[in-house]
Chain A
Amino acid sequence: MSRVQGILQRRSWAFAFVLALILLVVNLIVSPSFLAPERLPATLATLAPFVLVGFASTPAILSGGIDISVGPLATLINCLFIAVLIPAGWGEWYVAVPILLLTSAAVGTVTGILVAVVRLHPVVASIGVFFVLVGIAVTISKQPVPAPPNWSEALAGSFGWFPAAAITMGGVALVWFVLRRTAFVSNLLATGESDISAYGSGVNVTLVRVLSYTLGGVFAGVGGIALSALLQSSQSSLATTYALLGIAAAVLGGANLGGGRGGLLGAFLGAVVIYLVQQLLTAAGVQPSLVQVTYGLVLVLGVLLGATLLNPRLTRSRA
């Protein structure tokens, strides 16, 4: 038992992995065709926005802060693409993708500057940005605008046997994989673990913090594109849901809100867990309100377990 616990403690994502495996088996029992090859592209396309919003909230959490505004940023990018760029005739992918990614990077950078340079509390800064983003998204498209046929539909389908949703998720994972091999991620984790020590070791704490929010913004932008591919309409009303989903995915995946621990693999598994829970309950024909209850319970249980069984440095509150 203690060996299992040891593995779970050393690998912060292991708990989400076990949970995801169990849920996958249960899902397969309820609907045996769940993993059928012809359903895989659609499944992955539904999963992609969850995973990407989870990815987007990870860098900020690793740096010891938190960014609540990545979910609304993804929905803003969705509204910007479908309700502004496509009607304006800028819907081609080589025009739209750079605009969308630059916008999301800019928004992320603004949040980062508010946190690291203006030195607001991360929660306050990202809630302020949250308000502004939701306001802009609703201004752009109060009612859902349906999208005309466009290139993003392909991202929800497949190229031959290859599920197209893997491009968005895989692209972000690749960026992270490369960054992991640079000093940036090491500095990011050091800053999250203890910004004072990192500062003392010569890390440019301010720059690393700002860049972590920029990175989260870019990931959220990719999430917005994946969301557009899935919905094919602009949905400004999803902002709050995705704001909560992003944090929940990262936390379930073992990211420590104190910073310095976790990674994209955890956020991926956390998002998979949330997706599988919803899938299971929908397949079982449960009311939407109970889905919300279960999602809340999973989050509470995940946090409680993460703080007790799975915490390698269990420090009972001395404060």
Chain B
Amino acid sequence: MTGPSTGVTRSLTVPLPPARGWARVRRWAVETPFIQVLVLIVLVAVLVALIPAFATRPQAAVSILVLASLLALAAMGQTLVVILGGMDLAVAGYILFGAMIASNATSRLGWPTWFALLVTVVVCGGIGALVGAACHWLRIQPLVLTLGVGAVLAGGSMFLVNGDYNGQPPEDLRALAQLTGTTFGLPIPPIILIVVLLGVVLWLFLSRTATGRRLYATGVNPRAAALTRVNTAAIWAGVFALSGVLAGIAGMFIAAFGSGWAQGTGDPYLFSGLAAVLVGGTTFGSVRGSFTRTALGALILTVVATIITSRGLAEAQSRIVYGIIILAVVALYGRERHVRDRF
């Protein structure tokens, strides 16, 4: 016990020896979305084996991609919130609000698309920022606060339209999301490209900017981040605002894709979105979380849902499979430490 190099200091200062063999493979598999890619390839192979039409008709593959990109867009903000160590249950409310604005405000009040987009961004972003700031300032669990805010948003959207669910999104918005849409003459709906572009921007933001790294730092250890002069309050407000904005925009596209909306439009996207985040491998306050993983998760879930539907099973069975997938994937690498090891 003499000298500065006790067991504890050594374990903190001396770098670990490089892992070899199996340990190295394991670490690599945990640090990259390797398992997800593998699962996706297997699932696609299963899908093509079951329904050979998917290999020959591009239309079928495009429809899967559109569904997956809508899910990924709805889960984009949730990814950031989960990286921060929270959870946004108001997503369903934001989606419903965006869908309501895209369908009813445009057709009933004659708002142009850009104005509808602006209103969605300002309202959802503003509410999200307030939620984030309140959660940070008062140390409230985001789970509960967003639950209440989501109920207010969903109920408010339905109250504003007064039972009128027949609004149609404008033609230019529908052309962006519907299956018949084309991008630069290619038979691919622009929504896929939009989500891919947003994903690239988000990746650059998270991995190449100081703010992105501060976001990870806040998620891993808020206290340490604050002590290194990261403005954690601003990070919280910003992330929840971004979550609201992205979910609201997702709601507009979801309404455009489905040519309208209904009372229950938001709920499936809230839960499947969360599932996509978790299946992708982003866990609460994790350094390895990213939108690439969420996009992979969204693809996996969409392919699973397609396989389940093609076997003649109902949506209920896909819920069961989703649940088991979440539990299995998170059990693989999202486990927490034992009390004994935190002692």
| Interface residues of A, Cβ cutoff 8 Å to B | 66, 114, 118-121, 123-125, 127-136, 138-139, 142, 195-196, 199-200, 205, 240, 244, 247-248, 251, 257-258, 287, 289-300, 303-304, 307-308, 315-319
A123 to B284: give the CA distance in the assembly, Å. Answer: 10
A293 to B140: give the CA distance in the assembly, Å. Answer: 20
- Chain B 21-42 interface mask (CB, 8 Å, partner A; 1/0): 0000000000000000000000
Main secondary structure, interface of B, reads helix
Chain A contacts of B315 at CB under 8 A? 138
User: Which of A133, A134, A289, A300 is B149 in contact with, Cβ under 8 Å?
Assistant: A300
- A244 and B151 within 8 A (CB): yes
Is B314 at the interface (CB under 8 A from chain A)?
yes
**Given A114-B327, A244-B151, A296-B155, A139 and B317 contact (CB-CB distance below 8 Å):** yes
Which of B44-52, B112-120, B170-178, B329-337 contacts the other chain? B329-337
Chain A contacts of B314 at CB under 8 A? 138-139, 142
- A317 and B138 within 8 A (CB): yes
- A292 and B151 within 8 A (CB): yes
* A292, closest chain B residue (CB): B155
Residues of B within 8 A of A (CB-CB), count: 61
Chain A contacts of B152 at CB under 8 A? 292-293, 296-297, 300
- A138 and B319 within 8 A (CB): yes
A251 to B233: give the CA distance in the assembly, Å. Answer: 24
**Given A124-B330, A124-B334, A200-B343, A290 and B155 contact (CB-CB distance below 8 Å):** yes
- A120 and B335 within 8 A (CB): yes
* A69, closest chain B residue (CB): B323
Nearest-neighbour CB distance to chain B for A152, whole angstroms, equals: 25
- A299 and B327 within 8 A (CB): no
Nearest-neighbour CB distance to chain A for B82, whole angstroms, equals: 10
| Residue among B148, B320, B343 with max Cβ neighbours from chain A (10 Å) | B148
Considering the complex, which residues of chain B in the window 185-228 have a beta carbon less than 8 Å from any beta carbon of chain A? 222-223, 225-226
- A257 and B141 within 8 A (CB): yes
* A115, closest chain B residue (CB): B336
Chain B contacts of A132 at CB under 8 A? 319-320, 323-324
Nearest-neighbour CB distance to chain B for A180, whole angstroms, equals: 24
A to B CB contacts below 8 Å, 25 in the list: A118-B331, A120-B330, A120-B336, A123-B284, A124-B327, A127-B271, A131-B271, A131-B320, A135-B321, A135-B323, A244-B151, A247-B144, A289-B156, A290-B155, A292-B155, A293-B156, A297-B148, A298-B148, A299-B147, A300-B145, A300-B148, A307-B139, A316-B137, A317-B138, A317-B139
- B143 and A123 within 8 A (CB): yes
A60 to B337: give the CA distance in the assembly, Å. Answer: 19
Is B150 at the interface (CB under 8 A from chain A)?
yes
- A196 and B138 within 8 A (CB): no
Main secondary structure, interface of A, reads helix
- A308 and B138 within 8 A (CB): yes
- B222 and A319 within 8 A (CB): yes
- A296 and B323 within 8 A (CB): no
Nearest-neighbour CB distance to chain B for A32, whole angstroms, equals: 29
- B159 and A290 within 8 A (CB): yes
Nearest-neighbour CB distance to chain B for A247, whole angstroms, equals: 7
- A303 and B320 within 8 A (CB): no
- A121 and B283 within 8 A (CB): yes
**Given A128-B324, A290-B155, A292-B154, A248 and B147 contact (CB-CB distance below 8 Å):** yes
Considering the complex, which residues of chain B in the window 104-161 have a beta carbon less than 8 Å from any beta carbon of chain A? 134, 136-141, 143-145, 147-156, 158-159
Nearest-neighbour CB distance to chain B for A129, whole angstroms, equals: 7
Chain B contacts of A300 at CB under 8 A? 145, 148-149, 152
- Contacts A136-B320, A244-B151, A319-B136 aside, 18 further interface pairs with beta carbons under 8 A come to A119-B338, A120-B335, A121-B336, A123-B87, A127-B275, A134-B316, A136-B316, A195-B339, A257-B143, A289-B158, A292-B154, A292-B158, A293-B151, A293-B159, A303-B144, A307-B140, A317-B233, A318-B226
* B225, closest chain A residue (CB): A319
Is B340 at the interface (CB under 8 A from chain A)?
yes
| Residue among B137, B225, B283, B320 with max Cβ neighbours from chain A (10 Å) | B320
- B155 and A128 within 8 A (CB): no
Nearest-neighbour CB distance to chain B for A185, whole angstroms, equals: 19
